[in-house]
Amino acid sequence: MAGKIATLQIQEFNIRGHPTTPVEELSGGNQQRTLLSLLPPQSKILLLEHPTRGLDIESTEYIWEIFLNRARKGTVILFISSDLDELLDRSHRILVFFGGRVRVLETHHVNWTQLGESIGGKGFE
């Protein structure tokens, strides 16, 4: 039974490996896909830290497509990233913390420079 489930998850998440392949022998993108395959589909919220750090472009796009599909089904995706492009491209809102205060930025109203300045404390005076 476990072998069948693993085979289905490998196919569904496009993991390049076999049910008997140790996860640590997989590439970073395939390790990330494996972790995502283990998340319960009915999760209400996903808290992620640097979800695509170190991944190739193909894996990054694939993983974000999984997140978008989950969001369309009602899952809230909350992620932390040091990649400003990823924050701007993949977020609706960005929370910036500085000096014990928080600022909410709507991504459709902020650009890369403004985000960087806000992270540096501008606007928190």
pLDDT in tens, 71-101: 999 999 999 999 999 999 999 999 999 999 9
pLDDT in tens, 40-79: 888 999 999 999 988 889 889 988 999 999 999 999 999 9
Which of 97, 99, 28, 107 has the alpha carbon at shortest distance from 60? 28
Under DSSP, is residue 120 helix (H, G, I), strand (E, B) or coil? coil
Domain ranges of the chain: 81-125
